[in-house]
Amino acid sequence: MRFKTFLPVCLLALAFCCPAALAKEAAGITAGDAVLIVAFGTSVEKARISYQNVEEQVKAAFPGSDIRWAWTAHSLLHTAPGGTPMLSPQEALAKLATDGVKDLSVLSLHIIPGAEYSALEKIVAAFEGLPKGLETIRLSPPLLNDTESSRAVAEVLLKTLPKERKAEDAVLFVGHGTHHPAGVFYPALAYYLGSLDPKAFVGTVEGDLDLERLLPALKAGNVKKIWLTPLMTVAGDHAMNDLFGNDPDSWKAQLTAAGFTVAAVNRGLGENPALVARWVQGLCKAAPPAKHE
Ligand code: CO
């Protein structure tokens, strides 16, 4: 368990968890030859600021590493700016292997261990240890992956709200949602948020926590103003249309029609440096790669 020696050093470094130089000194570990950042992808150009922020933190945490990207949404691969298509994880992993990379760190920008994350786990496992290929691959966990991470993310979310938000205002974090069993992380987060701030709520665009379910609690709380913000890595299509769109079905329109004043905080979680740091630290803490003899 060579990673164990490294872990305390890793935890001590606050903003940047795995500086390669520090890692080398500590236990002969580096981020590997390369870091592959994996995101869902987005067709909304201004939403990519989240991805730029992530890349900057990864560069600082793993100086000198070859940093690459993959998007899991195949339908979005050709919407990237500049006309150069993005690579799917399969394509990116194959290319890394062909380019001679042996030891790879994969940074997942997923929020819950749902269907997208579990697909990525399978893809990564399939590429590990192939002849002439990647010998070791470590994969970071999603942002919410256990009790501790759910509690810590709740704290960060509340600490990084706009300072204009008053205690009597509600805050509504809206995630993507899923029918996968990992959808339980949304009510788990809602629990930890609510235990710190009784006016903090979690909803989802798809799945269980829809507006119909949330409205009675918002009304019972005597709330007048709601700060509405995505609980998504990027403020992309869902934020633009489902949350803040002009359509009467959007969350903003429905909340306004229900008598609330809505303040839009239209930013992705990737625009929050403290949350990006948690994703990056997750890679640092990821289980040591299996050794292929
Ligand atoms: Co979607």
Which one is catalytic: 74, 110, 176, 180?
176
pLDDT (average), residues 35-54: 94
Structure confidence at residue 30 (pLDDT): 52
The reported pLDDT for the residue numbered 84 is 86
Q: DSSP secondary-structure letter at 128? A: B
**pLDDT tier for residue 10 given thresholds of 50, 70 and 90:** very low
Distance 144 CA to ligand 1 centre (A): 18
Residue 292 bears catalytic tag:
no
pLDDT at residue 31 in the model? 57
Mean pLDDT of all residues in 48-71? 94
Cα of 238 vs centre of ligand 1, distance in Å, is 7
Mean pLDDT of 196-212: 95
- 67 forms beta bridges with 35
Mean pLDDT across 220-241: 95
Which of 281, 181, 292, 174 minimizes the C-alpha distance to 228? 174
State in Å: Cα 273 to ligand 1 middle.
24
Name the band, by pLDDT with cuts 50, 70 and 90, for residue 137.
very high
Mean pLDDT of 22-51: 75
pLDDT tens digits along 150-177: 999 999 999 999 999 999 999 999 999 9
pTM of the model: 0.88
Separation of CA 237 and ligand 1 centre (Å): 8
Percent of the chain with pLDDT strictly greater than 70? 87
Q: Order of strands, edge to edge, in the sheet holding 136-139?
A: 66-71, 34-39, 103-108, 136-139
Secondary structure class of 50 (helix, strand, coil): helix
CA 115 to ligand 1 center in whole angstroms: 12
93 CA from centroid of ligand 1 (Å): 24
Query: How much helix, strand and coil, in percent to the nearest 5, is found in the chain?
Result: 45, 15, 40
